[in-house]
Amino acid sequence: MYQSTLPGQFLSISESQADSIALQSNAEQVSYGDLKRRVDKVGSYFKQIGIEPGDRVALVIDNSVDYVTAFYAIWKVGGIVVSLNPQAKFHEIEKLIQQCEAKCLLIDKLNHANTEQLNQLSINMITLNQCDINGVANWSTALECEADNNWYSATEDTLAQIIYTSGTTGNPKGVLLSHGNLMCNVKDIIEYLELTREDSVLNVLPFHYCYGNSVLHTHFSVGGKVILAGSMAFPQEIVNTMREYKATGFSGVPSTFSLFLARSDWPQDPPPLRYMTQAGGPMGKELTQKLLQSSQPDTKLYVMYGQTEACARISWLPPHKLDEKLGSAGISLTHVDLEIRDENAQALPNGQKGEVYVKGPSIMQGYWNNAEASEQVLLNGWLKTGDLGYLDDEGYLYLVGRNSDMIKVGAHRINPLELEEVINKLGFVQESAVIGIEDEILGQKLRAFIVGEESRENLLALKKHCNEYLPTHKIPREIQWAEQLPKTASGKIKRYLLKS
Ligand code: ATP
């Protein structure tokens, strides 16, 4: 029996399974009971500094016990969690916390000057690191606060979380999710993955994206264990950790699985997993088959498709259908209605290609403070995903591309306009265009076309500028100088021509 919200579910599990391990991080094990005690203390601290229901609290920290503690503590006081990428550069973080008008910020990586600059924004700052800036609190102060046991009683309609994605106008958009959205999607995922409290998932996905976020909450909702693993830069270590902690599940994007197969002993000695999930982008048929052949015969592979605006998951491919429907993103979740529609939003019959529209209780409330962008994608309760595809005769979805210019590099969703805005700030750049080109490991990589004077000096200046203003995953890997960009009569860049 599930509670109607994730914090309600967490409270229930932390009572019924107080001694079960919730999080394993390196050698540290934290039980549900322990975690609840920490959450209660940090929640009291949030109350002390004036966080009220509906206030946004931004987390700019890596996956960790502290992340999860702060996350549930925000919900304890009725706040809205804003999960930001800790790899983001200062300018981006500053823009986002202003956009969502965060009242509090938890950080760990910023340097002294940036911390001081953010501190000017009349925001409560808490840092995981030692910091002597006046007005910036240390995380230990929150952890040592006297606990109280009063939890805000959220309902399904209470706003719960904002997850930022790259926007089509170049400005990131905050996907606003309610507790009802999250709980509905979590329950559907638990159902098809057949998760139980015996499950322990090894997680490498960043919690600030919807995929990692759903991995955390699905396993927490059944009282399972989440093993926090390090970076995919060391695939062998991740595989070793899976074996050491006897993980039953693993969730990855296509590049994660190709790294395991290429750079670890997985193919020789596949870990004894019950299930693997793959989402975040299309996984080629060859890699899917290779992964299946290189895994234990009883390990199930779940192909899943989703989008942040749909909370996380939209469809899943039942593992026993994997061979027959190879290349399909599967059938929609129990509480998701899915239709393929033409450019006039009219439903199309099976077999015909069009845009994927979805509806149901897991679809976002809209974009935070951006009614115009919300209206563009939410039509009479239906979400226009921007993905193109068709349904076969049995209702299995096949994705064939995107309606928009969004680029997916590994797990990161990137809007070229955002990068072009940064690049165009350089004096010698007249204009630029960024596209995604195929990459064996990451699915896509970034290539920038630059119109401007070609010189070694300018190239170095461009690289330096990108390093300063863009996080690593948004830095173009390839630069190509161009005399002009191909354009439509109305002046829109014809990106498909650049791709060819
Ligand atoms: P995450 O970014 O956390 O990995 P996600 O990919 O589900 O999760 P978004 O970052 O919002 O969510 O990206 C959604 C887009 O990714 C979809 O609109 C689609 O274009 C692409 N995508 C996701 N899953 C698949 C899949 N299985 N096959 C093809 N494309 C996918």
Residue ranges around ligand 1 (CB below 6 Å): 165, 209-211, 253, 279-282, 303-308, 329, 385, 387, 399, 402, 408, 411, 413
Domain with residue 311: its CATH number is 3.40.50.12780
Residue 187 lies in a domain: yes
Say what percent of the chain tops pLDDT 70: 98
Residue 166 lies in a domain: no
Q: Is 90 exceeded by the pLDDT of residue 209?
A: yes
- 138 and 194 part of one domain: no
- 48 and 196 part of one domain: no
Q: Which of 301, 176, 308 is nearest to 250 (CA)?
A: 301
Residue 474 three-state SS: helix
- 441 and 318 part of one domain: no
Atom nearest to 212 CA in ligand 1: 3
Domain with residue 417: its CATH number is 3.30.300.30
Q: Is 70 exceeded by the pLDDT of residue 425?
A: yes
Q: Which of 218, 159, 216 is nearest to 184 (CA)?
A: 218
Residue 440 has a pLDDT of 80
Token representation of residue 189:
């995922």
Last residue of a domain, one of 402, 421, 455: 402
- 363 and 441 part of one domain: no
pLDDT by residue (tens digit) across 454-471? 999 999 999 999 999 998
Atom nearest to 402 CA in ligand 1: 20
Q: 10 Å Cβ neighbour count for 176?
A: 22
Q: Distances from the Cα of 63 to the Cαs of 72, 392, 417, in angstroms?
A: 14, 39, 28
- 352 and 430 part of one domain: no
pLDDT by residue (tens digit) across 264-306? 999 999 999 999 999 988 888 999 999 999 999 999 999 999 9
Residue 163 lies in a domain: no
- 439 and 378 part of one domain: no
Ligand 1, atom 13: closest residue by C-alpha:
307
pLDDT by residue (tens digit) across 69-78? 999 999 999 9
- 268 and 384 part of one domain: yes
Residue 496 has a pLDDT of 82
Domain with residue 140: its CATH number is 3.40.50.980
- 271 and 312 part of one domain: yes
Q: For residue 447, what are the contacts with CB-CB under 8 A and spacing of at least 6?
A: 434, 435, 436, 437, 476, 477, 478, 479, 480
Give the residues across from 294 on adjacent strands: none
Q: Is 90 exceeded by the pLDDT of residue 214?
A: yes
User: Best substitution site from 84, 165, 291, 305 to test ligand 1's pocket, by max atoms within 8 Å of Cβ?
Assistant: 305
DSSP per residue, 271-337? ---SEEEE-SS---HHHHHHHHHTS-TT-EEEEEEE-GGGSSEEEEE-GGGTTTTTT--BEE-TT-E
Distance 284 CA to ligand 1 centre (A): 14
Ligand 1, atom 21: closest residue by C-alpha:
281
pLDDT by residue (tens digit) across 31-62? 999 999 999 999 999 999 999 999 999 999 99
Give the residues across from 370 on adjacent strands: none
Work out the pLDDT band at 169, boundaries 50, 70, 90: low
Distance, in Å, from the CA atom of 456 to the CA atom of 454, rounded to the nearest integer, reads 7
DSSP conformation class of 472: G
Q: How many domains does the chain have?
A: 3
Residue 322 has a pLDDT of 96
Residue 135 has a pLDDT of 85
Residue 423 lies in a domain: yes
pLDDT by residue (tens digit) across 335-347? 999 999 999 999 9
Atom nearest to 308 CA in ligand 1: 11
Residue 171 lies in a domain: no
Residue 129 has a pLDDT of 82
Q: What is the mean pLDDT of residues 357-373?
A: 97
Distance, in Å, from the CA atom of 326 to the CA atom of 293, rounded to the nearest integer, reads 14
Residue 309 lies in a domain: yes
Q: What is the mean pLDDT of residues 460-486?
A: 93
Q: Is 70 exceeded by the pLDDT of residue 26?
A: yes
Q: Is 90 exceeded by the pLDDT of residue 163?
A: yes
pLDDT by residue (tens digit) across 380-424? 999 999 999 999 999 999 999 888 788 988 888 888 888 998 998
- 388 and 420 part of one domain: no
- 119 and 238 part of one domain: no
Q: Distances from the Cα of 213 to the Cαs of 219, 340, 369, in angstroms?
A: 10, 27, 22
Distance, in Å, from the CA atom of 328 to the CA atom of 313, rounded to the nearest integer, reads 15
- 200 and 319 part of one domain: yes
Residue 170 has a pLDDT of 57
Residue 315 has a pLDDT of 98
pLDDT averaged over every residue in the chain: 93
Distance, in Å, from the CA atom of 350 to the CA atom of 105, rounded to the nearest integer, reads 48
Atom nearest to 408 CA in ligand 1: 16
Residue 132 has a pLDDT of 80
Ligand 1, atom 17: closest residue by C-alpha:
307
pLDDT by residue (tens digit) across 144-156? 999 998 999 999 9
Full residue range of the structural domain in which residue 37 is found: 6-154
DSSP per residue, 391-411? E-TT--EEEEEESS--EEETT
Q: 10 Å Cβ neighbour count for 33?
A: 15
User: Which contiguous run of DSSP H or E holds residue 86?
Assistant: none
Residue 175 lies in a domain: no
Kind of pairing between the strands at 397-402 and 382-391: antiparallel
Atom nearest to 313 CA in ligand 1: 7
Distance 307 CA to ligand 1 centre (A): 5
Residue 282 has a pLDDT of 87
The angle subtended at Cα 65 by Cα 64 and Cα 68, nearest 5°, is 90
Ligand 1, atom 12: closest residue by C-alpha:
307
User: Best substitution site from 283, 399, 412, 415 to test ligand 1's pocket, by max atoms within 8 Å of Cβ?
Assistant: 399
- 326 and 426 part of one domain: no
Q: Is 80 exceeded by the pLDDT of residue 112?
A: no
Atom nearest to 412 CA in ligand 1: 2
Residue 165 lies in a domain: no
Complex ipTM value? 0.95
Distance, in Å, from the CA atom of 264 to the CA atom of 266, rounded to the nearest integer, reads 5
- CA quadruple 358, 362, 365, 366: dihedral sign: negative
Kind of pairing between the strands at 28-31 and 21-25: antiparallel
> Is there a contact between 287 and 327 (Cβ–Cβ < 8 Å)?
no
Q: Is 60 exceeded by the pLDDT of residue 167?
A: no
